[in-house]
Structure 1
Amino acid sequence: MSTPPVRVLFVCMGNICRSPAAEIVFSQLVHEAGLADRIEVDSAGTIGYHAGHGPDRRMAATLKSRGYAIHGSARQLQARDLQRFDHILVADRENLADARALDSGGDFHSKIQLLTDFCTETEADHVPDPYYGGQRGFERVADIVEDACAGLLAAIQRNG
C-alpha cells in the first residue's frame, strides 16, 4: 500500500507574484531532493482576478535569473482546497484571515500558516507584495521564499 503524497498549497492575494514564486521554488527543491513522487505542490490566490494568467513577468524574470523554470497559472482558493491540502502556506496576515474565513467550522485552521514561519535565515514576518514596487521588491520576495521553502521542505522531511 503506497503512502498518499503530502500536498502543499501556497496562497497570496492574486496568485501571480508571491504564491507562484513559492510554488516554483518549492517544486524545484522537491524535485532536487528526489521527492516529486511524494510531495504535490500548487498555489492559489484569495481573489480570482488573475485566474488563468501565468506568473507576473517581473517575478518570472527574477526567478528565471536564479535558475528556476517558470510554470503555472493563477487560480482562486476554494473551500475544498482546505480539505485537500496538508499544508497551506500564506504570504501575509490578510491572506491568513481570508483563507481561514473559508473554513467556517475551524476544522482546518491548523493547516493554514504563514510561509515565513519556516524562514531560518531571513528576518520576515510576512512575504511583502512586490506588485506595485520596483525590482528590489521582487528580489526580496525571492530571498524570503527561497529561505522559507528550504525550511518547509526540511520540516516536511522531519515530520511528514
Structure 2
Amino acid sequence: MNYCYSRAALNGNICRSPIAEAVFRKLVTDEKVENKWMTDSAAVSDWNVGRSPDARALSCLRNHGIMSAHKARQVTKDDFQTFDYILCMDESNLRDLKRKSNQVKDCKAKIELLGTYDPQKQLIIEDPYYGNEKDFETVYEQCVRCCKAFLEKSH
C-alpha cells in the first residue's frame, strides 16, 4: 500500500493541506486506486487541532464537487514511520518536517514539496489564510496539478 500525507504548518491544517488531501482522495477514487492509498494531512503546530477546515477552503472544494470531513490534527512520530510520502507546501514546512524526522527512529517517509510535481513549476503553494476566495482557488488549482502529476509518477 502507498501512503500519501500532505502537511502545512502555518495555517494549522485548515487551509492548504486539507485541500490537497481532499483533491488527492478524489483523484485516487476517480482512478479506482483508493485501496492502494491512505491519505491524510496534519500540521506541525497544534493551533487548530480538532477544527474543521477554513470555511473558504470548504467552499472552494464544494465548488468543485468535493466534500471533506477533515478535522485538523498535529503530526506524530508514527506519521514518519507509516507514510511513504510526506508532501509539504513551502520551504518552512520542509525544514520543520526534516528536523522532526531526524528525531524519529526508522523514518521511512520521503519528505518533499508537493510543488516539485507541478508541471507549471510553481514550487511553493502559498498560504491563502489572509487572502480571499481567489487565493483558495489558486491553491486548489495548484493541488490538482501537483497531485495528478504525483499520482502519475507514483503508480
Q: What are structure 1's unaligned runs of at least 5 residues?
A: none
Matches within 5 A, 1:8-47: 8-13=4-9, 14-47=12-45
Answering whether residue 100 of structure 2 is matched by residue 129 of structure 1, we say no
Q: 1:135: how far off? A: 1.5
* Letter in structure 1 aligned against 2:118: C
Alignment partners' CA distance in 2, 1:150 and 1:87: 15
Contact 1:24 1:71 in 2 (8 A): no
Secondary structure of the structure 1 residue equivalent to 2:139? helix
Q: 1:116 maps to what in 2?
A: 115
Answering whether residue 151 of structure 2 is matched by residue 153 of structure 1, we say yes
Alignment partners' CA distance in 1, 2:69 and 2:56: 14
Q: 1:119: how far off? A: 1.0
98-107 or 47-56, which moves further after superposition? 98-107
Secondary structure of the structure 1 residue equivalent to 2:35? coil
Secondary structure of the structure 2 residue equivalent to 1:40? strand
1:105/1:78 CA distance change after superposition, 3 Å = closer
1:108/1:53 CA distance change after superposition, 3 Å = same
Answering whether residue 55 of structure 2 is matched by residue 57 of structure 1, we say yes
Matches within 5 A, 1:46-85: 46-85=44-83
Q: 1:33: how far off? A: 0.7
Write the deviation string for residues 42-95 of structure 1: whole angstroms up to 9, x where unpaired: 000111111111111001101110111122110011122111100100010000
Paired residue total: 152
Identity of aligned residues (%): 33
Q: 1:126: how far off? A: 0.7
1:94/1:109 CA distance change after superposition, 3 Å = farther
* Letter in structure 2 aligned against 1:11: R
TM-score normalised to structure 1 length? 0.90
1:58/1:68 CA distance change after superposition, 3 Å = same
Alignment partners' CA distance in 2, 1:128 and 1:79: 26
What is the RMSD computed on CA atoms of the aligned residues?
1.5
Alignment partners' CA distance in 2, 1:78 and 1:94: 18
Contact 1:103 1:109 in 2 (8 A): no
TM-score normalised to structure 2 length? 0.92
34-43 or 100-109, which moves further after superposition? 100-109
* Letter in structure 2 aligned against 1:93: E
